[in-house]
Structure 1
């Protein structure tokens, strides 16, 4: 046999013997390893029952933070008045506040039901674990039987998830609540207002969710030297009217966005609970920049905004003394808007089939158009009648196809700005609407002495803004044409 071959066979034999020895060790283990495993198992088993109490045994829990200096006393309470026993926690002194009790319970349970992930044991230098003195946090649980448990919480553990704790002179690693390191204000609910949509029920009990209605709104504060009032409209086209400082239709899309922000209000944060006068002044809420007093779908609220800092307003709601912060983007629909932004772009939009009499007065005389509504039974429904119109002037028929374009010209006069100034002299044109329901409205247009191509418009005697003089001139040119029952062509 060659020497090389002999060496290979010897090497293979050695490897085979080592492999068998390794397998035996894996299957049987050495006495030293068995002892270590047994010790580790016993330690783990003992650690599972560090503290094992129930909420019904807890009188209170006091949590102290060395870093913030805050002390919270957690009290067992009922999540529902119908509950037979305490099943959650609140914060002492805040029993009447909007506390997120489930979050408080998440913090509390880690003090009376403790399962460590690892036992460190006795250590010589507690400061290495952040446990010297009262550590970073200290929790004291007082039970209803008079006994107590005290846990010192130190720094985050490096080798495992959780923090080091000291309990009965032994050090452990324990998972802690994420709410331990948060401010006490994080326990206040930031969902401040949530008005549900109205629900209607038919005769068969089927429910239908409707759209919210802004029944009233009053905007005031330093941003509103002229306070704005608005509410529901009885107009058949527009849903809302502005009633102060002028009377005008409201811009539907703007109001929809405003309703959305007032119906559901969620704060960005909380900076004070049961605020003092000094705290109210600190956040500018003693002289609010904007106040919204409103009613949506039967629910009333008042929101006050203070000073804005880094895009956040201080905010108080209703009579609550909690001071919140809220993002500018969450209140921009109402916090600092102009009257012109909120109003409709036209002076008035009366529905053509709501007007019983139309009176048009200018330098060339007054034209009065009487309208008769005739119900179309084929097109009407049980709840909504459909009308055809017959128009006459001085008893003579005016063709509807001539009347309608002229009426559209009247509605189409749009506002250029909210320059509210008293008019001078006599009006160039006056339009009076007499409605079937007995209401009347009157719009007049005056030459603007300060602007050659502008007219000042009034609604029911109140200045309402500036319009283009060319729009008025077009109506004045069309007025005698319709009076002769001839076709009127709208320039648009």
Structure 2
């Protein structure tokens, strides 16, 4: 009987605790709180999720971005835009199309980014209702300094004020114009609706997408204050001529990396307008300078200090500082020899009728009669001996390739070659281009490393190591040995 009394008492006590808990839970907002006070910004007052706007972004024709540093007015206008399209022949052509674009008279706008502002508002919904009627809205950063206004084609106006980030950095406080309610919205929406000038400025500094490497006709590149090369475009896109500090045809595979980056480059971030202290960015004495002509317009692009994998840059000395990604600029430290054709002279066998090789104490005369597309058999002769078999013809071609395969592996632009030549190659072309006869000479270097490469008596600026003459695959000595052995076979 005593145990039953104890159990009954425990049940009664438990019931009292449960009743007290329910009472306190239902009346917690009424006990000890002023019903008109604002909750701390870190509190969660409600889980209400609502659509904050009821317009479609396509209907917005004007946006007013009020920011701490001023006001930006954007209007949507129909513009004629040049674009590139495939021409059906493997190339491109420029076509004019009409597009609705966001514009302002003050700077070029990235219309896609501006569209993002409107679309973010179109789909904007709250995360939580924080405060119905705050006494002090500044605790949420809502002081009227960041307001984005949307005006639709029918004249309706919508506006939202963006405050500061929430304490957990996963959202922003906001308030719709004409309402006292404070909501939180996603971080993405808050950032997008707070975009300022640097966010919406067009990162394509050329003002058009209708450009390609074909539109570049001249390029001068300097590194650390010294000219690496000056160049100009030849008759075709893949033909570029280095004109300084030596005259050589460009090695297009590597050289094209400069051209591709120039027309494709985009700003990563804008940093400062009207910059006065260029030294801060390393732009008073830039690390790299590109001077080029693109679509008949001259440009000077300077790159300064490297910070966080980005170079500071400035175009045409307008003192607007921006950054570009360094990962796209791995080619800027290529040595000059990698950017030029290192062949001293490389005519095709079809363009040459005679080659005289003077080397190693002998003179070989190669007579050549071969044409592309001709049904006639080629006529190759070495010192009067005709190549009778296909194997002999192949060995003859290899010997010719050994002659035209002479390449420099070093540059010495200050050298003044003196002395007699070690080897001489005299080409007689079928047609002058511009010369009928071209002479290549190898003059030994003073240090014994190799040979100065000369063409028509003029030093090329290149040096070839001795070892290249004995290369087992492409060396001229091995090619000669193989040809003689092939002729001795019966």
How does the TM-score come out when normalised to structure 2? 0.64
Tell whether 2:433 aligns with 1:444.
no
The correspondence for 2:313, drawn from 315, 323, 326, is: 315
Counterpart position of 2:19: none
Pick one of 288, 293, 296 that aligns with 1:290: 288
Residues 303, 313 of structure 2: 8 Å contact kept: yes
Inter-CA distance 246–376: structure 2 relative to 1 (3 Å threshold): same
Unaligned runs of 5+ in 2: 1-47, 82-97, 388-392
2:32 aligned residue: none
Distance 1:261 1:124 in 2: 55
Task: Choose 459-468 or 315-324, whichever is displaced more.
Answer: 315-324
Match of 2:340 in 1: 343
Does the aligned pair in 2 maintain the 1:77–1:87 contact within 8 Å?
yes
Q: In the alignment, what sits opposite 2:380? A: 391
Q: Which moved more, 1:434-443 or 1:315-324?
A: 315-324
Specify the alignment match of 2:253 in structure 1.
Answer: 253
- The answer on whether the counterparts of 2:402 and 2:476 sit within 8 Å (CA) in structure 1 is no
Q: What are the equivalent positions in structure 2 for 1:92-491 lying under 5 Å apart?
A: 93-94=106-107, 97=108, 99-107=109-117, 120-131=131-142, 134=143, 137-139=146-148, 152-156=161-165, 163-165=173-175, 167-168=177-178, 170-173=180-183, 175=185, 176-192=189-205, 216-220=218-222, 222-229=224-231, 231-232=233-234, 240-272=240-272, 275-276=273-274, 278=276, 282-285=280-283, 287-294=285-292, 302=299, 304-310=301-307, 311-317=309-315, 322-333=320-331, 335-361=332-358, 364=361, 368-374=365-371, 376-377=373-374, 389-392=378-381, 396-399=384-387, 400-401=393-394, 403-420=396-413, 421-439=415-433, 440=435, 441-449=438-446, 451-460=447-456, 461-471=458-468, 486-487=484-485
CA distance in 2, matches of 1:337, 1:49: 55
Q: C-alpha distance in 1, partners of 2:163/2:374?
A: 83
DSSP-derived class of the 2:370 partner: strand
Change (3 A) 1:143 1:279: farther
Which runs of structure 2 are paired with 1:11-50 in the superposition (5 Å)?
none
Identify which of 54, 63, 66 aligns with 1:63.
66
Q: Aligned to 2:265, what secondary structure does the other structure show? A: strand
2: CA distance, partners of 1:309 / 1:80 = 38
SS of residue paired to 1:178: helix
In the TM superposition, what is the alpha-carbon distance from 1:308 to its structure 2 partner? 2.2
Report how far residue 339 of structure 1 moved. 0.9
User: Residues 190 and 374 (structure 1 numbering): CA distance in 2 closer, same or farther, change over 3 Å?
Assistant: closer
TM-score by length of structure 1 reads: 0.63
User: CA shift at 1:58, angstroms?
Assistant: 7.3
Q: In the comparison of the two structures, how many residue pairs are matched?
A: 403
Change (3 A) 1:464 1:196: farther
CA contact (8 A) 2:229 2:336 kept: no
Could you tell me how far apart the structure 1 residues matched to 2:252 and 2:380 are? 31
